[in-house]
Structure 1
Amino acid sequence: MPAERPPELARFLDALKSGLAQVKAGEPRSMLERVFTKLESCAPPRESGPEKLPVCEQLAPVLLQLNQPGQALTGLAHSLIELAPELRWSERPGPAPGANDLFHGGHANAMIIGPGGIENRRDLWIGISLLAPGVRYPDHNHAPPEIYLVLTPGRFMQGTGNWFSPGTGGSFYNPPGILHAMAAKDAQPLVALWVLDVS
């Protein structure tokens, strides 16, 4: 019997697609089209249950603030509130070049769709990152292209360029292999969604 996508996950994908509507033409837009074409079919759920880390207590206040009438990301915030109990959070494993002392214990990542995600598949990754105030995430890169959708103010870096702030609801594209990093502001957490076209 074909897998059936849970309605709350379908609502999240609709809200994500709407939130990424401003992505520029060219390769970023082409990448998103490939991802959402793949999402026309769904995969089975993961077998393991959800898991939280202490830093995850900072997520709910952020989502509740975004889920207010008149906010641009209300639909996305509401869908994430629905999904939050099902997320399996973990810390980034391995070396952490460029990260600061707040990184360990001050961040968490969760795969929403992808390996170990609510929908368990390998051809694309959609996930969420949470950084506590003041956390600087390590420099890292990966072969698949990636688009970020930023839900709270924060700073981002690509290659040898200067740090930049996309702003709430802003998005940007990481070409394959580019070195990149992110950092939360001192007074508030950073929450960002990421989409990778893996195959």
Structure 2
Amino acid sequence: MLAQDTLTGALSPRPATLSDDLRRSTLLTRLTPLQQMIDGFCSILQANNTTAIVNVSISEVVDKLGAIGKLRSRGGQANALPLRDELVLAVQTIEPNSKNEVAVARGVGHLADDLDWYCGESGPFASVNFDRGHAHAVVLGPEGLEERFDLRMGVTLMAAYTRFPDHSVSAPQVVLALSDAEFWSESDGWQRAQIGSFIVQPEGPRFAMRCGSRPFLSLWCQLLGSCNDRT
């Protein structure tokens, strides 16, 4: 995990391995950082319930996140996070904000070494640094740290001055911005998003995001039917 003292920009060794925690866990418990991250996400989502979230049922998302799936041990096979310094800086930046946003960001930091990080495909209008300047990880869902098939929750991290390519999703996706950034949609063009903002990515239309001089961190969630595609 990233150290508690991430404000110093340093990384400290983990005091315990995920396998240790898994041996103490059952199907009815979650790792504490994971539960705190989910609790923070749900609190922010419910606080934004007055905002129209097209094709996404807030109550259904919160209800499903209350259920607990099976924790998976990677056996040391997880792909390491390539943007460790960027994650440290993103967590630093969010510290002055509300406790819910801080809980989500710290949860990501604690779980970072246990997640299986991967890169998405490039596409139209992606920045030249996109391939080496971003990483995703699935926290809950198929191939996630907590395996389940009714929803997917994941993390996206982008280095400074990275633009995500135009893309679309096959199931509506709710994105929680944990850093300041800009989001683009076919209907609204570029819109600025602040820490704690929710952005809805509907099924079908093209969508993109970009960040400026600081890294961008987000947590996203989508309900699954027959869709099991990665971001």
Q: Same fold (TM over 0.5)?
A: yes
Aligned counterpart for 1:44 among listed residues 67, 70, 73: 70
Q: Is the 8 A contact 1:155 1:165 kept in 2?
A: yes
Distance 2:104 2:81 in 1: 22
Choose 129-138 or 52-61, whichever is displaced more: 52-61
Match of 1:89 in 2: 117
* Alignment-derived partner of residue 58 in structure 1: 86
Equivalent residue of 1:116, what SS? coil
Q: Tell me how many residue pairs correspond in the alignment.
A: 195
- Return closer, same or farther for 1:14/1:53 CA change in 2, 3 Å cut-off: closer
Q: CA separation of 1:26/1:195 partners in 2, compared to 1, >3 Å: closer, same or farther?
A: same
Deviation at 1:26, TM superposition (A): 5.0
Is this contact kept in 2: 1:19–1:76, CA < 8 A? no
* Residues 117-143 of structure 1: CA deviation (Å, up to 9, x unaligned): 111122111111111111111111122
When normalised by structure 1's length, the TM-score is 0.87
Q: Does 1:13 align with 2:56?
A: no
Match of 2:228 in 1: none
Question: How is 1:1-199 mapped onto 2 (pairs within 5 angstroms)?
Answer: 2=27, 4-20=29-45, 21-24=47-50, 27-28=53-54, 31-48=57-74, 49-68=77-96, 71-72=97-98, 73-93=101-121, 95-185=122-212, 187-199=213-225
TM-score by length of 2: 0.76
Q: For residues 161 and 108 of structure 1, what CA distance do their matches in structure 2 show?
A: 26
What runs of 5+ residues in structure 2 fail to find an aligned partner?
1-25, 226-231
Residues of 2 paired with 1:28 and 1:76: CA distance? 23
One-letter code of the match for 1:58?
E
**CA contact under 8 A between 1:124 and 1:195: conserved in structure 2?**
yes
CA distance in 2, matches of 1:53, 1:79: 15
- Retained in 2: the 8 A contact 1:111–1:126? yes
* C-alpha distance in structure 1 between counterparts of 2:52 and 2:132, whole Å: 38
Q: In structure 2, how many angstroms separate the alpha carbons of the residues matched to 1:190 and 1:172? A: 14
Pick the structure with greater CA Rg.
2
Cα shift at 1:28: 4.6
Which segments of 5 or more consecutive residues in structure 1 lack a partner in the other structure?
none
8 A contact 1:23–1:171 mirrored in 2: no
TM superposition shift of 1:63: 0.6
Corresponding residue SS for 2:70: coil
Aligned CA distance change for structure 1 residues 40 and 18 (closer, same or farther; 3 Å): closer
